Amino acid sequence: MAEFDVHAYGPAARTLAVALRLAALLNVLYVAAHIVGDMVTGSKTAPPLAVASGIALFSGGPLLVAFLLGRAHRGKAQIGPERLAIDLRRERFEIPMASIEGVRPWRLPLPGPGIRLVLGSNRSFQRRLALRDPAGLLKALGEVLPAARLALDHPAIRFAEARRAHGRRRWPYFVAKYGVLPLALAIVLFRLHQYIVFGGPFGQYHLMGLGPYVSAFLLRWVGVLGALVVYAGLVRIVVEVLSLGLSYLLPGRAKGVRRAAEILADVAYFMLVPGYVLSHLLA
């Protein structure tokens, strides 16, 4: 019996999960617009602490609620020769294979890749199944349900397969992305600021003491980290929209498109950002 981790959302729960993610996305765009406006006009509508707190509260908050909502709807899908069983924390559903007339992948993979089960009389099963590897479930389901095999070629499933193959990262990547690089840039910018304003790398420390010196560095680091989180969010939006759109146009090349998009995203973050900072320092 094949078993898969799933999130079984009802229509209202899925709508809420999507709305929370869209709220987080819109906040990133809102903050990005203020940062770009400051860069163009020289205004100060997006100070470092405001950027960091705004991202943490109005993007991180909704994403945290969406994560908890997903955990509340987490369960197991078990595929047997005669029935599909879905075990949740407080509920269990058993669906006879004979009653499943079709499987419809979600056109938009929100809150993640997923499928809808079509039962008799064109009715939908009351829960929508979101999972990281919908292709794996469809292949297992297709061994006893021919209708499931037809969904494997759907562009949304190709998109999910490509993201699973080339879009997943391990923890060292995120340490480098949100730990090492922001810290390195913050040190460079803070040191330059100390030379310009106080005449040396420890000028503020000698004039004002350790507390103001450390506070100034933390403020610089938080500002750099917040700006990079916003920038990474914008790059991620481009990657996902581009990959999904081309998966519909060129479903047979979904994996190649995803691989290229991820490479370009890393170049945009790990090379363009330091290059931009260095070019302004040397100008």
Tens digit of pLDDT for each residue in 72-103? 999 999 998 889 999 998 899 999 998 998 89
| Dihedral, 118, 87, 22, 177 alpha carbons, nearest 10 | -130
The residues that bridge with 95 in the sheet, in sequence order, are 84
Domain limits for position 228: 169-283
Position 164 in a domain: no
Residue 183 dihedral angles phi and psi, to the nearest 5°: -65, -45
The residues that bridge with 102 in the sheet, in sequence order, are 118
Q: What is the CATH number of the domain that holds 74?
A: 2.30.29.30
Position 51 in a domain: yes
Give residue for tokens 């938009």.
Answer: 108
The residues that bridge with 9 in the sheet, in sequence order, are 128
Per-residue pLDDT, 70: 95
- Using DSSP's 3-state secondary structure scheme, residue 200 falls into coil
Per the rule left: phi > 0, alpha: psi between -120 and 50, beta: everything else, 91 is: beta
Instruction: Please identify, among 153, 179, 204, the residue that sits at the C-terminal boundary of a domain.
Output: 153
Q: 3-61: per-residue pLDDT in tens?
A: 999 999 999 999 999 999 999 999 999 999 999 998 888 888 889 889 999 999 999 99
Contact 134, 115 (CB under 8 A): yes
Per-residue pLDDT, 144: 86
Q: How many CB atoms lie within 10 A of CB 12?
A: 8
Model confidence at 283, pLDDT cuts 50, 70, 90, reads low
Position 93 in a domain: yes
Tell me, yes or no, whether 30 and 73 share the same domain.
yes
Tell me, yes or no, whether 173 and 140 share the same domain.
no
* Residues of the chain above pLDDT 90, percent: 72
Six-digit token string for 166: 């080339």
Q: How far is CA 65 from the centre of its chain?
A: 14
Give residue for tokens 């340490």.
Answer: 175
Instruction: Please identify, among 153, 182, 201, the residue that sits at the C-terminal boundary of a domain.
Output: 153
Six-digit token string for 50: 């405001």
Whole-model pTM: value is 0.90
Contact 85, 92 (CB under 8 A): yes
